[in-house]
Amino acid sequence: MPVRAILRWPDPLLATPAAPVGTPDAETRALADDLLETMRAAPGVGITGPHVGAMLRVVVLELPGDASPAVYCDPRVAWASPETARYTEGSVSMPGITDEVERPASVRVAYVGLDGTAREETAGGFRAACLQHEIDQLDGIFWLRRLTRLRRERAVKRWEKARRG
């Protein structure tokens, strides 16, 4: 379970939609293990295949208070509440830069588990925000695109300043 190199924004792969997993296999499980170790080392609470250049629809989440990490293959938002909530978001591909993003407050996510079983999960609060954030990444939508133009420009300036260091 090696820690993989994380792509840094604005790498073009972070704006590229990921391919479906289909039926998870040994390679998918190995990728999930690598993603977990990479996310913990970053550190972060969520990571996707595209974050490490593996262009497959795999998400790993490990939120504070979770009994164990969760792996989602081919996740999609099946339902989103009309109510919204704001949470501070960032990315392992843009460490140190965060901003508030408004998203649906609750979602139902359809996905395939590592065992190949089709599943659904209903989530609210921070978990809902994290799932939507990572599914966006699988669709090639980096979190900055969810900000207003002004806030996005400010975040990019902070990132460029941090990289010059």
User: Looking at residues 58-70, what average pLDDT do you find?
Assistant: 97
Is pLDDT at 85 greater than 90 in this prediction? yes
In this predicted structure, what is the pLDDT of residue 165? 77
> How does pLDDT run across 8-38, given as a tens digit for each residue?
999 999 999 999 999 999 999 999 999 999 9
> How does pLDDT run across 103-149, given as a tens digit for each residue?
999 999 999 999 999 999 999 999 999 999 999 999 999 999 999 99
In this predicted structure, what is the pLDDT of residue 1? 72
Inter-residue contact 78 to 109 (CB < 8 Å): yes
User: Looking at residues 27-51, what average pLDDT do you find?
Assistant: 98
In this predicted structure, what is the pLDDT of residue 70? 98
Among residues 37, 120, 134, 153, the one annotated as catalytic is 134
pLDDT tier, 68 (very low <50, low <70, confident <90, very high otherwise): very high
From 3.30.9.10, 3.90.45.10, 3.40.50.300, 3.20.20.70, which CATH number describes the 12-164 domain?
3.90.45.10
The whole model's pTM is what?
Answer: 0.97
CA distances (Å), 63 to each of 9, 26, 41, in order? 23, 25, 14
Picking from 159, 141, 43, the residue whose alpha carbon sits closest to that of residue 99 is: 159
Percent of the chain beyond pLDDT 90?
97
User: Looking at residues 92-97, what average pLDDT do you find?
Assistant: 97
3-state secondary structure of 29: helix
Residue with tokens 């974050």: 51
In this predicted structure, what is the pLDDT of residue 47? 98
Inter-residue contact 157 to 149 (CB < 8 Å): no
Q: Specify whether 37 is catalytic.
A: no
The angle at the Cα of 25, spanning 29 to 7, to the nearest 5 degrees, equals 50
